[in-house]
Structure 1
């Protein structure tokens, strides 16, 4: 993944053969489920603690621009990074989604952890980041234990287990195909592979 991200940072020219490439199971992607989702989707598994996720974060928007319209992009925070704070930051992500401030929170949280080197040792540290985007601690507390947030936590844990996610960032397309990142060394090729999997019907 580090190799992929290094190449992403370097500007790549478009490779004409990328979209015409023949992608193979277990070389470019893994099949993790028998049945695909009814609607096309791209699920990003990540953690705020993950430095590679921080570097990958801006490229997701660029991948989205290169994928066919109508594809839904989703995010799934994982709990297995960050020790005891892994679940706490997963809850923070769920709170941000419920409050419809996820993009703002993600940018602020990534910056706090990886740019400013702030420790996330307890929920007060988490609330402090929410404060920077205009959400006070009282508002956070009122949502953090809500039915909606708890439902999101259960769903994200279930998604992570079913997709057998062991490292991040990871991309799963249509709930069925997990991208093997090392197989595609450029942003254009990565996007082309995602687009191929979005349309795949077998």
Structure 2
């Protein structure tokens, strides 16, 4: 009996701690509210978008935390990365072109941190095709398959979509994360480049879960 009593108290305290943690996430302090809310890509799932650029040092710093977090996400969350494309920035577009080709091959997540390291730490110019193809081969990528996607018609469509998404969300700096088209957060907003970001993302996801469950019941 005593064990069950103690177990009940521990369980209750756990629920209380979880509710307190979620209550700590505040608009203006931890996130900005987007108005109007943007439409998610996969209806019925809670969407998290990471806007980034391979040449951004802040993106490189936060990426290991994001990578670890993304591997443990529940099935009701759709996490996707969007490489920003800004008009007139050919240097950024070249990196986005690389990302689009790798994404088409399903290799983008595997090479995410490696590309950040190559671009920013090792100073490898991946925007130069001969250098890029040689580097990809060393990473175990089928270069011929990569070439079929790189700069292809579908690749250009993907680039255009990334540009439109960047504009639609009003992204003027990176890294930025958007939860379910409603909540925007970033290391700049939080003032930290560590696991604080993924904690806030988890709490924003939890904030959206009851609404997502309600929509499923109505169907």
TM-score (norm 1): 0.76
Matches within 5 A, 1:100-179: 100-135=106-141, 137-179=143-185
Q: Quick check: 1:94–1:152 contact (8 Å CA) kept in 2? A: yes
Q: Of the two structures, which has the highest relative contact order with CA contacts closer than 8 Å and spacing of 6 or more? A: 1
Q: Distance in 2 between matches of 1:22 and 1:121?
A: 39
Correspondence 1:98 to 2:100: no
User: Is contact 2:61–2:193 with CA below 8 Å preserved after alignment?
Assistant: no
Q: Is 1:49 equivalent to 2:76 in the alignment?
A: no
TM-score of the superposition, structure 2-length normalised? 0.71
Deviates more, 1:71-80 or 1:190-199: 190-199
Residues 25 and 203 in structure 2, CA contact (< 8 A), matched pair in contact too: no
Equivalent pair of 1:64/1:73 in contact (CA under 8 Å): yes
Q: Structure 1 pair 108/185, CA: closer, same or farther in 2 (3 Å)?
A: closer
List gaps (5 residues or longer) in structure 1: 1-14
Q: Which residue of 2 aligns with 1:191?
A: 198
Name the CA shift for 1:78/1:95 in 2 (closer, same or farther; >3 Å).
same
Distance 1:76 1:99, change over 3 A: same
CA–CA distance in 2 between the matches of 1:180 and 1:112? 24
Structure 1 residue 117, shift from structure 2 partner: 1.9
- 1:173, 1:197 within 8 Å by CA — same for their partners in 2? yes
1:111 and 1:180 map into 2 onto residues whose CA distance is: 21
Specify the alignment match of 1:84 in structure 2.
90
- Assess if the C-alpha contact under 8 Å between 2:86 and 2:166 holds in 1: no
Contact kept, 8 Å, 1:33 with 1:175, in 2: the verdict is no
- Please identify which structure carries the higher helix content: 2
Q: 1:188 to 1:160 in 2, by over 3 A?
A: same
Q: When the two structures are aligned, how many residues end up with a matched partner?
A: 187
Measured after TM superposition, the shift of residue 136 of structure 1 is 5.1
Aligned 8 A contact 1:49 1:81 in 2? no
